[in-house]
Structure 1
Amino acid sequence: MMVSILSPELCTAVLIAAFALPLAFAIWRAVHSAGSWWRKVLSGVGHYLVIVVAQALLIVGVFLGMNREYGFFASWSDLFVEADPAAPIHDLVPIRRTKVKDIPISKDNPHPNGYLTGLTMPGTDPQYGHVPVWLPPQYFEKSAQGTRFPVLYYIGGLNDTGDHANVSMDLITPAQDLVTSRKINPFAIVFLPGRIRRGIDSECLDVGPVRHESWIMKTVLPRIESRYRVGHERGSRFIGGWSSGGYCSVNLATKYPKSFNAGIGIGGYYHPTFEGQILASVSQPLIDANSVMRRVHDNRIDRSVRFLSVLNRSDVQSWGPEKGTVISNGQIGPDAGQFYRLANGRKQFPFIVLNGGGHRGAVYMPYVQQCLEWLGQFGL
């Protein structure tokens, strides 16, 4: 039976070997330092090979540790054999097709493929302050100068800046295709970072000195809506996210039902799970107050909330273990599997559930287009 790629024992064994191999070789050389010239040559070659092998083992060990922590690859076949999934050829959730706003693209349109611009926001560390904004080609048509376009606020993973969010999960390409084929209305995308302070995992909440939630709701939304012709009312505002941004989006969608019309979460979870130094400012009441799991369990969800989750049974970073729970830093770990069992069947919370692959954008990317189409039935 093959050892799991996520096995902690395998990771430990490889790291021990990375250090034990050169140590053993050094001892061997000390014992056999004398000898003929050819023995010295072989010793030199062996010395070189030991360094190479030890470095390779160290790299593999670090990779295994990182993969166990973040779950990028769920199995050996996921890493070496199986290709990333293809886009589905049919609807995986019910989608009601609606009539979209027809704004023809003229020959003199300066941005026929849309335009990526953005604003620099106050209240963050410098690397997180730039918020990219993608505007559809229809935004630049003279016939639409008085039109406000629907807007999707998209929150990247924990290590995503706003600029990097569209790299780890490409939304612009499927958005262009859907708008061009008139399957959904022309809409804008605002790319938000997964954190606003360097090294601090604030989970899009106001925790300790970090006012992440207030930054989104009281700084980003008003400034975007005053600078661009995008939706400033619930009916034309949408929210979504990937990984930790998936948690952020479902938390904000259920916490502010009058602010967002619908939302999507990709590879997310359903209660905050903090990391690092911010833990000193975290209290159990804060976690409980921002647990979507608890809101659903207690039936404290506004009837207008609509949220689509894309999950993966093999993604331990999101789904969690099949049996039991993971406790880390005194907190319960990933809970998407538990949330699926709790909320599956409720019309407010449809699901797309995958089987295979780890916590990587490439595994989830084929389902982004269907997520956008699902939002389209509500006005995106």
Structure 2
Amino acid sequence: MQVHELLSRISHLSLEHGRAQVALTVAALAGIGAALAATARRAGLPILGAAAAAVPVTGVIAGAVWAAYRPLPNQLPPAGYVWIWLAVAVVALAALRLRNAGTRRAVVAAVASAVVAAAAAGQVNAQLGAFPTVGSLVGHRPQAVVAPVAFGDVPGFQPTVQSGVPMDSDWTRPVRTPRSGVVTEVDIPGAESGFPARPAVLYLPPAYLTSPRAVLPVMVMIAGQPGRPQDWFSSGRLASTVDAYAARHDGLAPVVVVVDALGSQDANPLCLDSALGNAATYVAHDVPAWIEQTLQVSHDPAQWAIGGFSYGGTCSIQLAVNYPQIFPTFLDFLGQDEPSLGDHAGTVAATFAGDERAFAAVNPVDLLKTRQFPELTGVFVAGATDDEYRPQQQRMFAAARAAGLNVRYYELPGGHEGATWGAALEREMDWTGRQLGLTS
């Protein structure tokens, strides 16, 4: 094996699943054992003191995380804070004992506490998905691709097969159909909105890559905040989920365009046209115009859907209610009951200079109180342990149902995390396929 191949394999090793989790657990246990052995002499009181001291430190860390991500819910499940507490306790124990320990014991205690801290950091990372692979630790993020292609290498306009509805009723899979779709980045300019979007990520299913080409429906998807479109392909597992759907349906699946509705990692324009930027016009006008001009897809609004998780989920119901003629189907995973920068008054002040009427004119909850939307169909999904967003999803569902929308609501195990919205997409692919006319 050549050196570059070995380095490539190491770079792609997962830090979130399988052997990595086993290794981190073993390392943590070994580190704890070594730390206790090095500080065993009259260690009863120091152990209790270190354990107690770690509680307020962990509380401070929890508060800092909450403040940094507000108005998002706590991004770290309780198990993550247990790991943080454990690491702080072991480090504190080592510090308490280093003053009276010999050189050998001091070195062992220091190394052991470092190992436990690193293992705890690895466990927290696995829950957050910040660094999915070894390579990502040094900046080599895994590309969000099934088959690495440049957009320019995707076959251009081809003869098309305009199938009926449902499409699978008369679609015949061509002999030379790829087994999986491709993913690539594309620039979608804000021609009308002027919105400074980052590159979108485009998934093209096998039936799009054939000749003749199926005229497929479209899903416009949005990630969370802070975040980037690639998050749908890492923590959300979008490519593998849609590939699996396509494999069950002779290569048929929606074309998925994951767009940037933020402008930067930490921006929060709230999917509105406001003082914070014209994010709504970008997603509802610029993006569809680019798709229809650049891709061979269905132009029938009945075959278009919008969806997202967290911030993207909030965006999906906002845009569906404000642009029902463009996005009559929506998937709101773990969203809020209104766009928010943390509190209502502050949000209205930042977006519309305190004008409550202007905010209410685009806020979905307010619109649902005054109008009926029988043409809209969608789903609200919440995490069973997401105590902040779950009640908001329930309120949105109740408001949508009262306004005549054809909607469903359910909860999945988990909190406000990738495992939950990834599972939601996997569960909803069959429903989305039926809704967009792919299957009966």
Q: What band does the TM-score fall into relative to the shorter chain?
A: 0.5 to 0.7
Paired position in structure 2 for 1:107? 175
In the alignment, which of 424, 429, 435 is matched to residue 372 of structure 1?
429
Q: Deviations over 1:317-368 (max 9, x none)?
A: 4214xxxxxxxxxxxxxx1233345556876243342253222222343342
Identify the residue that residue 417 of structure 2 maps to in structure 1: 360
Structure 1 position 205, deviation (Å): 1.8
Which amino acid is 2:245 matched to?
A: L
Q: SS at the partner of 2:389? A: coil
Unpaired stretches in structure 2, ≥5 consecutive residues: 1-54, 56-75, 129-164
1:319 equivalent among 390, 394, 408: 390
Q: Give the match for residue 274 of structure 1.
A: 341
Query: Is 2:230 aligned against 1:163?
Result: yes
Q: Which has the higher contact order (CA 8 A, sep 6+)?
A: 1
**More helix, by proportion:** 2
Note the C-alpha offset of 1:49: 5.5
Counterpart position of 1:133: 202
Given residue 378 of structure 1, which amino acid in structure 2 is its aligned partner? Answer: Q
Letter in 2 for 1:306: T
* Alpha-carbon separation, structure 2, partners of 1:143 and 1:44: 68
| Residues 313 and 333, structure 2, Cα contact 8 Å, conserved in 1 | yes
The structure 1 residue matched to 2:283, chosen from 216, 222, 237, is: 216
Are 2:383 and 2:411, in contact at CA under 8 Å, matched by a contact in 1?
yes
Percentage identity across paired residues of the two chains: 20
The 5 A counterparts of 1:1-380 are 6=78, 29=99, 39=102, 41-42=104-105, 45-46=108-109, 55=117, 99-101=166-168, 102-109=170-177, 111-123=178-190, 129-144=198-213, 148-182=215-249, 186-274=253-341, 281-283=350-352, 285=356, 287-296=359-368, 298-320=369-391, 335-343=392-400, 348-354=405-411, 356-380=413-437
Which stretch shows the higher mean deviation, 199-208 or 244-253? 199-208
Q: Which residue does 1:326 correspond to in 2?
A: none
Q: Residue 310 of structure 2 aligns to which amino acid in structure 1?
A: S
Mapped to 1, the partners of 2:271 and 2:329 lie a distance apart of 18
Pairwise CA distance, 1:306: 0.9
- Quote the Cα distance in structure 1 between the aligned partners of 2:188 and 2:294: 12
Q: Report if the CA contact (8 A) 1:311-1:336 is conserved.
A: yes
CA shift at 1:183, angstroms?
Answer: 9.2
Q: Is the 8 A contact 2:307 2:330 kept in 1?
A: yes
Task: Give the 3 Å change call, closer, same or farther, for CA 262–294 of structure 1 in structure 2.
Answer: same
Equivalent residue letter for 2:431: W
CA distance in 2, matches of 1:201, 1:299: 27
* Kept after mapping to 2: 8 A contact 1:207/1:282: yes
Shift of 1:52: 6.3
- Cα 1:259–1:17 change in 2 (3 A) is same
Q: Is the 8 A contact 2:206 2:246 kept in 1?
A: no
Shift of 1:242: 1.4
Cα 1:287–1:47 shift into 2, 3 Å: same
SS across alignment from 1:257:
coil
Give the root-mean-square deviation of aligned CA atoms: 4.2
User: Are the counterparts in 1 of residues 87 and 113 from structure 2 also a CA contact under 8 Å?
Assistant: no
Contact 1:313 1:353 (C-alpha < 8 Å) held by counterparts:
no
Secondary structure of 2:390's counterpart equals coil
Paired AA for residue 311 in structure 1: A
Give 1:231's aligned amino acid.
S
**One-letter identity of the residue aligned with 1:295:** L
**Gaps (5+ residues) in structure 1?**
34-38, 68-97, 321-334
Structure 2: distance between partners of 1:255 and 1:125: 18
Matches of 1:248 and 1:307 in 2, distance apart? 13
Aligned to 2:138: none
Post-superposition shift, 1:122?
3.1
Change (3 A) 1:117 1:15: closer
TM-score by length of 2: 0.59
